[in-house]
Amino acid sequence: MTLTEILQNMWDIFIKYYIGAGLLWSGIGYTLLLSAITVLAGTVLGSLMALGKRTRFKPLVFVITAFVEVLRGTPMLLQLYVAYFIIPMLLKMPGLSPFTSVAIAMSLNSAAYVSEIIRSGIEAVDKGQTEAARALGLTGKTTMLKIILPQAVKNILPALGNEFITVIKETSLASTFFVGDLMTTYKVINGFTFQTVPVLFDMAIFYFLLTFSLSKLLGVFERRMKKRA
């Protein structure tokens, strides 16, 4: 197959299936929804774990550390399989949808990475700030919320943005369970057309446009944050 034929097939598939059948918007919608859930839940859980690791309660620190190391040390696909087959049994919810199982697994995985990002951001803030706040009579909670975290957010924003972009690409693994994301549409269209290369090239363009657009938006947001600093 020549390059011209590949490009022509890419265009024909794009018009007939992605636009005509509406699979593009459906795939992008599920991909962005799964990414948003993952990032939101991962950020909340990751923040709680990062703060939990700073406590003096050693058993809690041990559990969080073990959780983070296990999730960071095992493949995402393996975690998706565990979530798909085991979590419904643990929760005694055999009817748990594939989308929900995948969202739980990806959220926990993201939380493990975000917790380390936030922890490093907090530790990057000068310890003198904490000492000065305590000298002024501020409690540990107030010091963290009013002094440390606002400065830490500015430090970790680029890393959190990269995590969001990474999550968008990692949603492609969810196609293993046919949750409706972009890579699921690839499998559907490839099953109809048997045109693997053109469909994959289309998919690469869609993912690139998503991640590139998001990176530019995050860049604008970061610049505005710096101006306000």
Residues 6+ apart with CB under 8 A from 133: 142, 143, 146, 147
Give residue 228's pLDDT band: very low, low, confident or very high (50, 70, 90).
low
Nearest 5°: phi and psi at 126?
-55, 130
What is the pLDDT, as a whole number, of residue 45?
92
Structure tokens at 122: 């907090």
The pTM of this model reads: 0.82
Would you say residue 4 has pLDDT above 70? Answer: yes
How much is the pLDDT for 229?
A: 56
pLDDT of residue 13: 84
At position 93, the amino acid (one-letter code) is: M
Say yes or no to pLDDT of 109 above 90: yes
User: What confidence score (pLDDT) does residue 12 get?
Assistant: 86
pLDDT at 149 over 70: yes
The distance in angstroms from the start CA to the end CA of the chain is: 55
CATH code where residue 68 lies: 1.10.3720.10
**pLDDT for 63:** 92
Which range is least confidently modeled, 60-69, 106-115, 136-145, 192-201?
A: 136-145
Query: What integer is the mean pLDDT of 92-113?
Result: 87
pLDDT for 226 equals: 66
Instruction: List, for residues 75-95, the tens digit of each pLDDT value.
Output: 999 999 988 888 888 777 777
Please give the pLDDT value at position 37.
92
**What is the enclosing helix (H) or strand (E) of 203?**
helix 196-228
Share of the chain above pLDDT 90, in %: 17
pLDDT higher than 90, residue 66: yes
- The total number of structural domains that make up the chain: 1
Enclosing domain of residue 89: 3-228
Checking 54-63 for CB contacts under 8 A at 24+ apart, the result is 54/119, 54/122
pLDDT confidence of 153, banded at 50, 70, 90? confident
User: 226: left (phi > 0), else alpha (psi -120 to 50), else beta?
Assistant: alpha
Q: Where does residue 127 fall: left (phi above 0), alpha (psi -120 to 50 degrees), or beta otherwise? A: alpha
